[in-house]
Structure formats: structure tokens, C-alpha cells
Structure 1
Amino acid sequence: MCSLQYLKDVFNRRDFNFENPHLDLDKFHPQLKIFLFTNGIFFNNTESKFRFILPAMFSSLAVAALVLEAILMYHGLSEKDYAIATESFCYCIVLTTIPVANISVLANKAKIINLLGRMNDDFKYICRLDQKYKKPFLHGQLLIWQLCYVWFIFTSTVACMFMGTSIVKLTYQSMFATQNENTVRPLAFPLWLPKDDPYRSPNYEIFMVLEAIICFNVVQIFCVFVYVLFHTLLHCYYLMKLIFLDLEVLFDGLDESVSRLSPCNPQRIAVQLTLNKRMKRIVNWHTSVLRSVELISSIYGPPLVFQVMFSSIIICLIAYQIADYLDHGKIHFLFVLLFFVACIQLWIPCYLGTLLRNQAFEIGEACWRSGWHETPLVQLLRSDIIILILRAQQPVSIKFFGLPKLELETFSSIISTSYSYFNILRQY
């Protein structure tokens, strides 16, 4: 019970000092830099050659596993065993994501450091503001913290299920199977070698260790890739929420009579400076969101293009495998799990893209409803309000060459395409 309570306290950050005015990104989210460290992003010695070790090792193992799965896919096509061929093709697509994501992150190291620097500046500035701004922002950061743990546990569970199934089967064979059952020792992912048997010793032991490492590798890539993506996008989302708070009080507490005074009058100048200061913070936050989303697009554009490009195919093939097993009266539990993972890892960026798009458009509406038509002070700020409304019409979305807008409409389109492919395969 004590351990469970401790985990709950960590999950809800009950021992964390939310009132600390010196909070920053590192103190609240230490896991962010730890995760990026596994991708080769060092923050103390940014140019260290050692940062290439883990990405190079993970990418090399992924390429080796990719070659093995490609051999099995070729064998399946040659023997007209389309079930094993489609299963291998699914694994090939997943494995290709590893070097694509690693190369994209390493190539954009400076942009990632710049992005985190912007987020840290936002964090420190907001934590020095009133509770009106600080409380909702930190509430959103707590949600990001909790989602990080949920996503990490989910991806780790999936990997453990793949390896755990093989271990359970192997344990059963070791304890209860007889020599007459003619059993073959199981692997998490099936393999085939042209002139050798992958299931004989010591081949079996080597491939078993390799597949365990690959499972960890896939978890590391997808856990970090998706987590950093939704962390940065949610940071922008909660930053836009603060813009609404500023727009609500844009004209509050100011003397409206100064609008009839001369532009050189000290009282009018003082009110003008206050309005300019308030609008400047709104514009700075809005600009920060636009630049952050632009950085996110350039950093994670290539893996997202690959992800969107092949998602319809891989979801279709996984569904085909599940249906094929059901036709034979079996349930492929691991493929059901993989189908769920394939859908959710695509749904997350599409959902966040829709969330950001709607929130960005609402900024223009909030500016329109800020009460400018009810106060003569609008004369002092008319051009700024018009410019902000016009800028808010610009869609805030992840954009990259060859990448459709990541929105729920895109997710729906991909699922529909997958279903069409699935029907064609079933008819064939």
C-alpha cells in the first residue's frame, strides 16, 4: 500500500512546490531532457561525439532486424504464404521508423535546443505572474506530466507483451511439452534463414536477445517521438489559453475619458503605454506559438510524413492478419494489440493538430469579443486589434512537404483508406 501511495503521489506531484516563483522547464519536466538524451541530444556538451553512440547503435540493430524481416517476407511471397509476408512487411515499416526518427532528430539538434529554450523562457516568465495565469498553466503542465507516464507505461506494456508471450510459451514447452509434440521454440517475431535454421542453438538464443533489444528500441523511439510531440504541442495549446485571459482584461481598469484628450496629454500617453504593454504580451505569446509550431514541423516533419504515408497500409495489413486468424478460429492477440497501437499513435498528432487549429481560430474570435466596440479606448489600439485578428486567421498546424494537415479529418481519411484496402485484400 505504501508503494502504491508513493506512485500516486509521484503521478499527481503532491510533494512538488507549485508556488515556487523560480520554476523552470527542467525542474518541472526533468524527463524531457532524459528522453532526448537517448536520441543523441546533449544539453551540457552539445557537440560531443558520444551523442551519436546510442542513435547509431539503435539504428544499426534496426537495419539488421529489417534485413531479417525482408528475407522472411521474400520467403513468404515465394512460398505464397501471404500471411507471413504481410506480417513481415508490417514489422519492416515499424523498424524503418527508427532510423528515420533518429536521423531527423540529430539533423535538427539546434532547432530542438532552440525550441526547448523558448519553452523554458515561457515557463519562467509565466511562473512569475499572478495566480490567474500561473495556476491554469501549471495545471496543464501537470496533465502533460501525467500523460508522459501513461504513454510510457502503455508503450512499455506493449513491448513486454510481445516478449512476454514468447517467454510464457517457452516456459510451457520447457516444463510440460513432451518430445512427441514436435514443438518449435517461439520467437516474438518469426524469422527464416536461407541456409540455416534460426531456431537451433545458438541461433535461437542470439535472435531472442536481438528481438528483446529491438522491442526496447521501438519503445524508446515511439515513446520519445510521440511524447516530445504532444508535450511541445500541448505547451503551445496552454500558452494560447493565457492569451484569452489577457484579451478578457485588455481594457479593464483604464480611464476611458483620455480618448478625448490630446495625443500629447500625459494621462493619454500613460494609458496608451499600458495598452501597448498588454497588447505586446498577447502578440509575443501568439508569435511564440507560431514559431514553436514551425520548429516542431521542421524537426518531426520527416517521421510524420513516413508515419502518415504508411499508416493506411500497415493498419490494413494488420486488420487483414486479424481477420485471417479469425477465419481459422483463432485470435492473434498481439496483432489486435498492434492494431490498437497503430491507430492511437496516428490519432494523437491528428487530435492535437485539430486542438491547436481550433484554439488558434478562437483567438481571433476572443479578440473580436474583447469589448473594443464598447469603449472609446479602441481608438488607441484599433490597428493592433485588426492585425491580431488577421494573424489569427492563419491556421496553426504542423506543415511539412508531402504532409497533409494533421487533423482528425486526416485520421478519418486514413482509416477510410485502410478499410478500402482491407476490402480489396479480402476479395482477392
Structure 2
Amino acid sequence: MCSRQYLKDVFSRRDFDFDNPHLDLDKFHPQLKIFLFFNGIFFNNSESKFRFILPAASSSLAVVGLVLEAMFMYHGLSEEDYAVATESFCYCIILSSIPIVNLSVLANKAKIIKLLGRMNDDFKYICRLDQKYKKPFLDGQLLIWQLCYVWFIFTSIVASMFVGTCIVKLTYQSLFDTQNENTVRPLAFPMWLPKDDPYRSPNYEFFLVYHVIICFNVIQTFCVFIYVLFHTLLHYYYLMKLIFLDFEVLFDGLDESVVRLSSCNPQRIAVQLTLNKRMKRIVNWHTSVFRSVELISSIYGPSLVFQVMFSSIIICLIAYQIADYLDHGKINFLFVLLFFAGCIQLWIPCYLGTLLRNQAFEIGEACWRSGWHDTPLGRLLRSDIIILILRAQQPVSIKFIGLPKLELETFSSIISTSYSYFNILRQY
């Protein structure tokens, strides 16, 4: 009971000091730098050569698995065992993403550190503002914290199911099954060697350990990749929410009669400076969103291109495996789980892309509805308001060469394409 309550407290951050004016990104989200550490991003000693060890080991294991799965795929096609061939091809695509993600992160180390520096500056600045700004921002950060745990648990379950199912079958086989010369010990993935038996000792033990490592290697890479992506995008989504609050008080507490005074009058100058200061913060936050999303695009653009290009194939192949098992009167829960994971990992960036796009367009509408036309003070900010409205017409979206707009429409299109591929494959 105590452990359950402790987990609830950690998940809801019940004992965290939200009123601390010295809050920063590291104090609220210590997991962010820990996760990036596994991708080779060191913050205390960013130029250390040791940072290449984990990404190099992860990519090397993925390349070995890629070669093995390509060999299994060729064997499956040669034997006309299309279920094995399609399954191996699916694993080939998944394993190929690991070195792409690692290389993208390592090549953009400076950009990642710069991005986190901007986010930390936002954190420290907003935490010194009134509760009107601080509370909705920290509520959003709490949601990011909770989503991190949900995503980590979900991806861990996917990996654990592949490994756990294999271990459970092996344990049952060792304890209760009658052993004979035709007994084949289970592995997480199908194996084949051209001139050897992969299921004999010590081959079996080697492949069993390798499968356990590669399962968590894939999950660790995708868990960190998707988490950092939705963390950074949601950060700027909640930053845009604060812009709406600024529009609500843009003209509050200011004397409208100064508009009739000379432009050199001290009272008018003081009001003008106050308006300029308020508008400056809105423009700075708005510009920060555009620049940071552009930075995120350059960091994870190659990984997202690969993800979007091949997600339709992966989802199609997994659906084919599920249908093939159903044809034989069986249900493969692992592939069902993998199917949902494949859809979710694509849905997350597409949903966030739509969220950011809509929120950015609403900033222009909020600027128009800020009340500038109901007060004479609107004349003092007329040019600034026009420029901001025009700027808000440009969509905030992740852009990279070969990458379509990440929106829910893109997700729908990819799912439709997967279904078309699935029908073709089934007819073939």
C-alpha cells in the first residue's frame, strides 16, 4: 500500500515545490538529460569521447541484427515462407531506425544543447512571473512529466512482452514438456543459419541474450526519440498559451486619454513604453516558438523522414502477420501490441503537429480580438498588431527535406496507404 501511494505521489509530484521561484528545467525534468545521456549527449563534458560508446554499441548491435534479419528474409523468400520473410523485413525496418536516430542526435549535439538552453531560460523566466502565467505553464509541465512515465511504461511493456513470452515458454518447456530430438527451444524472433542449427547450445544461449538486448535497445532508442520530440513540442505549445494571457491584458490599466496628447508628452511616452514592453514579450515568445520548432526540425528531421516513409510498410507487415495467424486460428498478442505501438509512435508527432498548427493560427485571431479596435490605445500599436497578425498566418510546423507536414491528415493518409498495401499483400 505504501509503495502504491509513493508511486501516486511521484506521478502527481505531490511533494514538489511548485512555488519555488528558482525552478528550472533540470529540477522539474531531470529525466530529460538522463534519457539524452543514452544518445551520447553529455552536458557536463559535452566534448568527451566517452559519449560515443553507448550510441556506437547500440548502432553496432542494430547493424548485426539488420544483417541477420536480411538473411532470414532472403531465406524466407527462397523457401516461399512469406510469413517469415515479411516478419524479417518488418524487423529490418525497425532496426534501421536505431543508427539513424543515433547519428541524427550526435550530429546535432550543439543544437540539442542550444534548444535545452532556450527551454531552461523560458522555465526560469516564467517561474518568476505571476501565478496567472506560472500556474498554467507548470500544469502543462506536470502533464509532460506524467506523459513521460506513461510512454516509458508502455514501451517497456512492449519490450518485456517479447522477452517475457520467450522466457515463460522456455521455463514451461524445461519444467513440464517432454524433451525429444524434435524439441525446439523458443526465441523472441525466428532464427536460421545456413550451415548450423541456431537452436543448439551454445548458439541458442547466445541468440537468447542477443534478443533480450536488442529488444530493449530498440525500445530505448524509440522511447527517448519520441519522448524528447513530444516534450519539446509540448513545451512550446504551453508557451503559446501564455501569449493568449498577454493579449487579454495588453491594454489593461493604461490611460486612454494620452492618445490626444502630443507624442513628446511624458505621460504618452510612458504609456507607449508600457505598451511596447508588453508587445515585445508577445513577439519574443512568438518568435521563440518559430525558431525552436525550426531547430527541432533540423535535429530530428532525418529520423522523422524515415519514420513517416516506412511507417505505412511496418503497419502493413504487422497487420499481415496478425491476419496470417488468424487464418490458422491463432491470435499473436505480441504482434497486436506491436501494431498499436507502430500506430502510436506515428500518431504522436502528427497529433502534436496539428496541435501546434492550430494553436499558432489562433494567436493571430487572439491578436485581432485583443480589443485594439475598442480603445484609442490601439492606434499606438497598429503597425505591431498588423505585423503580428501577418506573421501568425505562417503555420508552425516541422519542416525537413522530403518530410510532409506532420498533421493528423498525414497520419490518416499513411494508415490508408498501409491498408492498401495490406490488401495487395493478402491478394498476392
Same fold (TM over 0.5): yes
AA aligned opposite 2:391: R
SS in 1 for 2:134: helix
Counterpart in 1 of 2:8?
Answer: 8
| Separation of aligned partners in 2, 1:285 and 1:373 | 23
Counterpart in 1 of 2:355?
Answer: 355
SS in 1 for 2:331: coil
Counterpart in 1 of 2:329?
Answer: 329
Counterpart in 2 of 1:296?
Answer: 296
How far is the alpha carbon of 1:182 from its aligned partner?
Answer: 2.8
| Separation of aligned partners in 1, 2:50 and 2:303 | 23
How far is the alpha carbon of 1:178 from its aligned partner?
Answer: 0.6
Cα-to-partner distance string for 1:184-209 (whole Å, 9 max, x where unaligned): 10110111111111111001101111
How far is the alpha carbon of 1:219 from its aligned partner?
Answer: 1.3
Cα-to-partner distance string for 1:386-408 (whole Å, 9 max, x where unaligned): 00001100100100000000000
Note the 1:65-214 alignment, pairs <5 A: 65-180=65-180, 182-214=182-214
| Separation of aligned partners in 2, 1:425 and 1:399 | 32
Q: In the alignment, is residue 28 of structure 1 matched against residue 28 of structure 2? A: yes
| Separation of aligned partners in 2, 1:185 and 1:303 | 36
| Separation of aligned partners in 1, 2:425 and 2:365 | 47
C-alpha contact (below 8 Å) 1:258/1:267 kept by paired residues: yes
Cα-to-partner distance string for 1:245-268 (whole Å, 9 max, x where unaligned): 000110111000001110000000
| Separation of aligned partners in 1, 2:2 and 2:46 | 40
C-alpha contact (below 8 Å) 1:317/1:422 kept by paired residues: yes
| Separation of aligned partners in 2, 1:283 and 1:20 | 27
How far is the alpha carbon of 1:179 from its aligned partner?
Answer: 2.5
| Separation of aligned partners in 2, 1:322 and 1:12 | 37
Identity %: 88
Counterpart in 1 of 2:315?
Answer: 315
Counterpart in 1 of 2:248?
Answer: 248
Cα-to-partner distance string for 1:359-380 (whole Å, 9 max, x where unaligned): 0000000000000110011111
| Separation of aligned partners in 2, 1:308 and 1:222 | 14
Cα-to-partner distance string for 1:21-74 (whole Å, 9 max, x where unaligned): 000000000000000000000001110000000000000011011111111101
How far is the alpha carbon of 1:230 from its aligned partner?
Answer: 0.2
SS in 2 for 1:272: helix
AA aligned opposite 1:308: V
C-alpha contact (below 8 Å) 1:367/1:389 kept by paired residues: yes
AA aligned opposite 1:65: G
Q: Structure 2 stretches of 5 or more lacking a match? A: none
How far is the alpha carbon of 1:288 from its aligned partner?
Answer: 0.7
AA aligned opposite 1:361: F
TM-score (norm 1): 0.99
Q: Structure 1 stretches of 5 or more lacking a match? A: none
Cα-to-partner distance string for 1:1-40 (whole Å, 9 max, x where unaligned): 0000000000000110000000000000000000000000
How far is the alpha carbon of 1:183 from its aligned partner?
Answer: 2.3
AA aligned opposite 2:239: L
| Separation of aligned partners in 2, 1:62 and 1:289 | 35
| Separation of aligned partners in 1, 2:317 and 2:159 | 20
AA aligned opposite 1:367: C
| Separation of aligned partners in 1, 2:355 and 2:379 | 33
SS in 2 for 1:205: helix
| Separation of aligned partners in 2, 1:179 and 1:375 | 88
| Separation of aligned partners in 2, 1:331 and 1:279 | 59
TM-score (norm 2): 0.99
Cα-to-partner distance string for 1:97-149 (whole Å, 9 max, x where unaligned): 10000000000000000000000000000000000000000000000000000
Counterpart in 2 of 1:388?
Answer: 388
| Separation of aligned partners in 2, 1:183 and 1:232 | 50
| Separation of aligned partners in 2, 1:366 and 1:168 | 57
AA aligned opposite 2:282: I
C-alpha contact (below 8 Å) 1:173/1:183 kept by paired residues: no
AA aligned opposite 2:405: K
| Separation of aligned partners in 1, 2:314 and 2:140 | 33
| Separation of aligned partners in 2, 1:104 and 1:341 | 22
SS in 2 for 1:187: coil
SS in 2 for 1:381: helix
| Separation of aligned partners in 2, 1:87 and 1:366 | 50
Q: Count residues in correspondence.
A: 428
How far is the alpha carbon of 1:181 from its aligned partner?
Answer: 8.2
AA aligned opposite 1:202: P
How far is the alpha carbon of 1:180 from its aligned partner?
Answer: 4.5
Cα-to-partner distance string for 1:215-269 (whole Å, 9 max, x where unaligned): 1111110110000000000000000000000001101110000011100000000
| Separation of aligned partners in 2, 1:127 and 1:297 | 27
SS in 1 for 2:397: coil
AA aligned opposite 2:376: P
SS in 2 for 1:114: helix
